[in-house]
Structure 1
Amino acid sequence: MSAPRPVAIVTGSSSGIGAAAARRLARAGFDVAVTYSRNADGARSTAAACKAEGAAAIVVRGDVSVDADCRAIAAAAAAAWGRIDVLVNNAGTTRYAEARDLDALDAADFQHVFGTNVTGAYQMARAAAPHLRAAPDAAIVNVSSHAGFSGAGSSTAYAASKGALNTLTLGLARALAPAIRVNAVCPGFVATDWGLAWQEPAEYEAFQRRAADVAPLRRIPTADGVAECIVWLATAAAFVTGQLLVIDGGTHLTVGSPLAQP
């Protein structure tokens, strides 16, 4: 009799990094719970891709800012397979606003963004924790952002939420050790359709070219490239916890150095 397959939950996996992470986890031998809040078609497509990799997959609708939905997602995965080994907290949202315009955001915007990006990750960790503790090598990977360090991004609320998610990652790594490892990936600009929500296609394409030109590696990460790092942290980094892995083609190295020759 073959050994049971490990199980992963990937929140917000109807597109982009979440979808890529779900596919790579399926390829790595996981059965996958694909979650979404609005994009049902995308979630079904991700589940089909996981099945094409030989995995079992379920699709669960849920808004991670709602605690009852988080508990339902964890319960659905546990009911389907009797275990949870990995949680990828990828679900995220933003409010697009020019940082210099301090009137562009209000308290409700911050509450909305933090509700998904920070509270949602906490609630999912809490809901999955009893099942993760029973797994032989459990891991949580939070999908944060380089914006959490730089303060740059689609809005100040978004950047602040990712800074908070980084701190949450460290706190959970302490609280859930030794049973559960907790780490975060912090991508810079990623070649997905995320930016099309506030930029025209030609403008966004030019932006991605500029981002690649300033990166020391002369390229920006793809969703699949970020997913590869997520899977490594989830499955192979047995002695790694409480780490914030920046994935940005080296863009963080472009900050001016006072030691540079004029």
Structure 2
Amino acid sequence: MDLKGVVALVTGGNGGLGQRICHALAQEGAHIAVVYARSRDQAESVASELASRHHIKAQAFACDLTDGAAVDRLVGEVTKAFGRLDVLVNDAAYNHAIPFDDLDNLTQEVWDKIMAINLTGPMRLTKAVAPVMKVQGQGRIINIASVAGLSPTGSSIAYAVSKAGLIHLTRCMAVALAPETLVNCVAPGLLDGTRATANLRSEQIERSASASLLKKPADKDDCADMVVAMCRTETMTGQTVVIDSGRIFH
């Protein structure tokens, strides 16, 4: 798919990885809807920078991804503002570091919040954009998961299970939305400069980097470039690509 003039909705677009994804898509000529949960000023600053640097249209939109009605309103607002919607990047996520053996602190409240944002939110957005993309005859959905979804690791059991669910949701939605909409997934390893990493314990960060073949965190730009490639592809769907400096092989 030619990205010049398409419209991309990026959740968590004001985050560390989300900003890189927004810029990578805008550099290819895509217009960007920067979706945020709370940080309005930051999201509007990102949208302003995207527009001025890449000469595209960009606008910030607030949305609580745990609210189904808010998700439906978001898709309506974006399509009204831009006239179409071609790409959805489900990048927004929440984590809370809890050692796997600390089951007492894996409360129902923590579990429900992680699942609501990391798995149910992308499902709701995918369902909301699917009819728009079907009518247009084209669409791309890219989910941002984690290597924690491929191996029993990560910040908590709830986070790992939510990302495993997102990876399988990618496969299932690829089946459901073919042939008009292609659905793929990027599974990063440890990334510097993201909110998810900031929530990890220092020993987790050190252990993750040292355990990789390349002995360093994964690169956010590599992840953003893969999102662009998944938007361009015409024959790849239902796939998960790992970018983690060589830790997980699947």
| TM over 0.5, shorter chain | yes
Q: How does 1:100-179 map to 2 (within 5 A)?
A: 100-179=101-180
Contact 2:96 2:199 (8 Å CA) reproduced: no
Measured in 1, the distance between the counterparts of 2:141 and 2:246 equals 25
Measured in 2, the distance between the counterparts of 1:222 and 1:40 equals 26
1:213 paired residue among 210, 220, 243: 210
* CA deviation profile, 1:75-106 (whole Å, cap 9, x unmatched): 11100121111000111112221111111112
* CA deviation profile, 1:161-190 (whole Å, cap 9, x unmatched): 001111111110000000100011011111
Q: How does 1:60-99 map to 2 (within 5 A)?
A: 60-99=61-100
**Corresponding residue of 1:50:** 50
In structure 1, the gaps of 5 or more residues are 256-262
Structure 1 residues 198 and 212: alpha-carbon distance in aligned structure 2, compared to 1, 3 A threshold: closer
**Corresponding residue of 2:40:** 40
Structure 1 residues 210 and 154: alpha-carbon distance in aligned structure 2, compared to 1, 3 A threshold: closer
Q: Does residue 225 of structure 1 match 2:222?
A: yes
Letter in 2 for 1:118: L
Q: Which has the larger radius of gyration?
A: 1
* CA deviation profile, 1:102-130 (whole Å, cap 9, x unmatched): 11112221111111111100100111112
Q: How many residues align?
A: 246
**Displacement, 1:134?**
3.0
Contact 2:4 2:28 (8 Å CA) reproduced: no
Contact 2:29 2:56 (8 Å CA) reproduced: yes
Structure 1 residues 32 and 97: alpha-carbon distance in aligned structure 2, compared to 1, 3 A threshold: same
Structure 1 residues 93 and 66: alpha-carbon distance in aligned structure 2, compared to 1, 3 A threshold: same
Letter in 2 for 1:91: A
In structure 2, the gaps of 5 or more residues are none
Contact 1:189 1:248 (8 Å CA) reproduced: yes
Q: Does residue 234 of structure 1 match 2:231?
A: yes
Q: Indicate the larger mover: 216-225 or 32-41.
A: 216-225
Q: Alpha carbon RMSD of aligned pairs, Å?
A: 1.9
Letter in 2 for 1:111: D
With the length of structure 2 as denominator, give the TM-score of the two structures: 0.92
Measured in 1, the distance between the counterparts of 2:205 and 2:43 equals 26
**Displacement, 1:230?**
0.9
**Corresponding residue of 1:251:** 247
**Displacement, 1:74?**
0.9
Contact 1:23 1:46 (8 Å CA) reproduced: no
Measured in 2, the distance between the counterparts of 1:151 and 1:4 equals 39
Letter in 2 for 1:226: C
Q: Helix, strand or coil: the match of 2:150?
A: helix
**Displacement, 1:208?**
4.6
Aligned-pair identity (%): 33
Structure 1 residues 16 and 4: alpha-carbon distance in aligned structure 2, compared to 1, 3 A threshold: closer
**Corresponding residue of 1:259:** none
